[in-house]
Structure 1
Amino acid sequence: MASSAATVSIAAEWQLLYNRYYRKPEIYSLQWGRMTIDLRRHRVACAPFGGPIAAIRDDSKIVQLYAESARRKLQIFTSSGVLLSSVVWDRPGGRLVGMAWTDDHVLVCVVQNGKVYRYDIHAKPLPEFEIGTECFEQGILECAFWGNGLVVITEGNLVFCVPDFRETEPKVVRFADPEIDDPPLCVAVIEPKYTMSGNVEVLLGAGDGVLVVEEDGVQRLGEGVGPLQKMAVSQNGKYLASFTHDGRLLVIPTDFSKIMFEYSCESALPPEQLAWCGMDSVLLYWDETLLMVGPSGDPVSYTYDDSIVLIPECDGVRILSSTSMEFLQRVPDSTVSIFQIASTLPAALLYDALEHFDRRSAKADENLRLIRSSLPEAVQTCIDAAGHEFEHSRQHTLLKAASYGQAFCSQIHRDRFHEMCKTLRVLNAVRNPGIGIPLTIHQYKLLTAPVLIARLINAHQHFLALRITEYLGLNKEVVIMHWACAKITSSSAVIDEDLLKILVDKLKLWKGVSYAAVAKHADNNGRRKLAAMLVDQEPRSSKQVPLLLSIEEDNTALVKAIDSGDTDLIYLVLFRIWHKKKNATRDFFEMIQGMPLARDLFIVYTRSYDHESLKNFFLLSGQLQDVAFLLLKESWKLGVNPLASKGSPLHGPRIRVIEKARDLFRETREHTFESKAADEHQKLLRVQHGLEVSTKQAIFVDSSISDTIRTCIVLGKHQDAMKVRTEFKVSEKRWYWLKVFALATINDWETLERFSKDKKPPTGYKPFVEACIDGGQKSEALKYIPKLTDLREKAEAYERIGMAKEAADAASESNDGELLGRLKLTFGQNAAAGSIFDTLRDRLSFPGVS
């Protein structure tokens, strides 16, 4: 049984509310710097999770200034009363209506004309905005905050909502008109995460019930419960604590289905503050009196000599007075099981056994034997209880008891013990009055270690944040980076070289730190020279090059990108510089001309996507032949564009492009062939274009000279065909071949015959024979086959028209045994033909024929 004097004194500090114990230890004795903050004369906003306190003199009250300045100051303190920052409040817009901290520790101040001013934890002004014209015209009567949102009620009883302050430009939503004549008696909000719609719901105490106002409509609930003077929504959004006009405290589900609890207070005067203490009790505060009411039993009353502020937390309520910070919470079950007077639970006996062991009493062994089977449970309870304590000595004793019990229990996992030790070291560090973040273990688990680190660095507690990240194995880079950026911001009087040395001496100790991010911050603060020096320290080109571009160090960025060999980076820089130098193209071309890799990549890109820029580059660099080749490529692209054929036949776009290419080729001695080819090409296009105009048939352009001649003959344009022949100096042999096959194509055998008799064909009669045979005209072919002088050609011609004897005779005249053998195979199915070849074999005795 735990019966020591220490145990009794611990339990004596508790208050019993029905069957639950509550305690109210003092966390801090507040100093407030050089002066004490009189909470009666100030408007105060306190952030949850042990966050900062903002205070400003209340301009709605007439106060005696004593020795302080008549100018109001907005002051920001830690929860332990350490001044973090202050700024003179000279904001226009009328009376300050509301002030609260967001989840991101941004202080939001709403003034009467609808303007919203925001500050960070160092009292640095952040972008302000206005809620709307109607708020400016009517004035704001009251406002309510949650998380990162705000609801305001105008003096005309209109409701406006700012759903999320984290947006760059917070939007304002007008809710449905509640249509009430008198101002609401009280206002509360249900956070979006607890509503069915996922949007905030505004509760207005109006008449004898409550109006639930949303963007889409208004609903009246709780008829007959009011009028309500004060409302507070529970932490989980399920319940509403309300104070009625006749002095009753009601606890109602937020759907107003029933009254769960009712308590009649001694006073009908509404409390100054109404707050939930966890989920088991409700606090009501009148001047000097704090009343804690539970679901059953008599309430617990506390008396204060001065004014207090209630700060609801997820597991209790912090109580701020002018001199101290207290924490009122339900005593955890593990703590009750150990320290409750006359407790005989295993954890209490283990704790008592440690005390006997320290006194070298045999009673320790007796206690351990009593709880042998429950020892693991007792150890876990002591560990859990240690996590809920603020006093270091009590944490130490409870953990020592747990360690003592572990020595006699091999079945318990020791990870829980080590994890609790780590957690308590972190919590004790941030609870230190110099830091002033009085987190409980429950709050710490909900907040998470990364968020705590972020809050420490925002408060410029970089050293502690770094130690904690190292201890917990978290990413240290975010702390180092924030420290470096903060150092730059606060060192405006330090010259760049000295500040660079300070930064590099620290940053080089941590591998992987991005100098580029620090350099970007320096540039944003107007220290471009420092930014450039920091970029030189960045080993990663992927981070270094974009930052060099952002600080206008284009040439250096291009050199670094080329050195990296990363084509994507080089293209990034090239495009950026190219875009900036659109009006100074020559400068850009001259710059890349001396950088082979950048130049080649530029050429590769523009060759595919931007011929015009590539042509300009080649022209300025004197590469005329390359420009000419590009022009020829463009001419072919114009050929597939139907718009290219429009316009004058002599001055069509393709012809002009090819002429330009020809002229450029003529400028170089090495490209005589290309020059002549381009010249002939443009001449041919002119001729073909003229032929298409005269024939009204789009069949000439982009065909060859041979095809142009052949098409003219087919169409009966013999004179045009002769002109093309003359213009392009087509040889006589080629002319005969083209004309013969063109006439055969249109079956003009008569003209073909006359053409063969004009003079002796320079090609011989072979083209005539082939044209007739290809045209299936055996009789026409026989007109020309006898005129063939080459016996082999004559034999093959007879073979093609199926005349075996004639073929054999021609083959025998040629004395070509191989030809004769092949002809025998060809005519092998014909018995008569076979006998002819046998006779020839016997007569000529060709050894190759068998």
Structure 2
Amino acid sequence: MLFDWKVLDDQYYHKTFLYHMDWNIDSLQNVHLSVAKNGGPIAVIRNEKNHLGIKNKSLKTDIIIYNMSGRLLHQVQWNDHSKIVSMNWTLLDVLVVVIESGFVHMIDLRNNHDIFSLGKEAKEAGILECKFYKYGLVAMTRDYKFILMEFNSRIPTVYCNTDLFEYPHSWCLIEENHVPDVLIACQERMIRLGLTDKGNITISNKSFGFLCVSSDNNLIAALDMKKMLIVYDMSFNEVMSVEVEYDNFPNQMMWCGSDAVVISWDDYFYLIGPTGNFIKFDRSTKPSALLCDAYENFEKQLGKTDEIIRTILPNLTEAVDECIEAALHDMDVDSQAKLLKSASFGKSYLETYNHSKFVKACQVIRILHNLRNEDVGMFMTFTQYDSCGFGNIIERLIERNLHLMAIKISQFIKHPVDKIVMDWACQKINCNDEDHQVYNTIVSKLSQTPLSGISYSEIAKIAFSKGKVNLAVLLLDHESNLCEQIPLLLSMNKDKLALEKALNSLDADLIYLVIFHAKINNSLSNFLNIINSLPLAGRLLENFYKETDYDLLKDYYYQDDQRWNSAMLLIEESYNCAEVKERIAKLKSALSIIRQDKSISFQTKIINNFIKLLLFQNQIDADFNHASIVGLSLHDTLVKLFEMGLHSRANRLKNDFNVDDKRFQRIKVSYFIKFQKFDELEILLQSKSKNLFIQHGAVNDLMGAKRYDLAFHYSSKLRTPHFAKNILKICIHDP
């Protein structure tokens, strides 16, 4: 078979397909081309003699650099109009372009461009040919001189004189040392040329058209004009010779490793081994194996499958599609497997193939296998399956109570299983098993089955409709959507549980919905029991009533026997009363509510004092033409009395409310300073000269009133640790 490995002596050889080139070049005869080693780039430029095969006109002026598959890497603008003699790549992927005028261009993939000369001889005579080696190049001038140049030094060196007067038949480089020798074939002799010496090698009756040295520099292959291939060692002892049959002189000869020589023509090439045996390879071949044969080749590990697939690559998409289609219609499992494996193997070589077609086919075939199983008994062809539709098949499986089969098939193709699970759950609910047993079965199944359009609340509704309330409650405990869970709990009269769920959601609207539903559908005592068992619910209900209806809040506090909260409502209402009598009446009502509760005796005393203060303030308003002191605090009332000059009334108020004397005198001092009654202030401070609290308070108030003179006066009398601090403040404000 063409694609098998071929044996030549004790070695195996084969052609290797690499890529279908992704470029726009029809014929390599129309371009200069250079391929770098080790998977490196390819440089292409127009051949000046013929450029008809080039579709991309930019090649007329540019050097185009591709990767090994023909993808564009770089484009170098080429402005040198001299003829290109040769191109090659260095080991570091630097392109070397030698032109006829004796100059060398070195261009890397980042477009760094160096130009240098091969010397005077090259410039004068011009370059005719050039060959490259690992570290540099050797150029032959038009007067048959050879010039060496290393890439690193870039210093041209001329080999010794060849005495050539005509174009040599062939020449090559021998890299035995760092500096190569030149081997030249001309007429019936060979010349081995070094930098300093020359050796003539005479071979009678031999005129060689091709010379090439093996990669290990141990052998020389020479093809003479009489169709004889002769292999020499480095001492030019004949190792092997063989006659090569051909009509036209070959285009190229080179070594394949160190074991065989390749001689190439336009349409074929020979591979000649060390014993003279040879193999002929045709250049252009048509696909001779189908995709299934290629897969069989792969299974048998014959080693040529890649070449087969790549050779039929232009038709590979069609071949894959046909294998897939055949597998869908085939009834034999083994045959289907072979066809699908072949298709899978083939599509792995296609970069742009739509893999969903293959995946869908595999899914359909697997479904058909399960439907054709004896336990299911739904044998159908692919055509029947396609016309029936997947949804109809699932319906038929459900009708047969084959829920597990329907779920597995749906999950396999990522189809929703909600309808299947719902029907299965209904069947489980209808059975006579214990509620907990049914619950555990359903939860276990649903926890293993990803659902998108179904919820536990839907199944709970079915259970509730069947009269299985406890089962419905158990199922609802797994419902994550509270907006689905809570209304169903309310419909089942599970108000407390619904309120607990609502409170956990922290959704105020949901909480109020449950509270008001519970209030409407429960007796007052049951409602209060529900609310009191959940303190957060009670606080939310209070806030709602405060914002909407005080009367309802009063009823709630009264019914729930919340005495202090009821009293607080009356106290708050008292502040909105225009008449003092109404305010006092509200406060007395609040007092009557809390009087019997000994736990709030302090609050009772406060309310009593507030009533007493209101009565006193009301009397002052009545006696002095509405002095407007009703509602003031005890402190502000004393200040107001001092302002009105009612010192006796102020003393009376002090005694009635047991106001501390220091506090009382301090209020009086503030009053004297505010109204600039400094004589009365002097008298008061002299009478209270030992009361440092009053003295310091007076100094601070004077400083606040910016009376720094008086502040300094009284501060100087104190002689306390605060004296210096007060003096400093005074000096800062009144220097």
Same fold (TM over 0.5): no
Higher RCO structure, 1 or 2 (CA under 8 Å, sep 6+): 1
Larger radius of gyration: 2
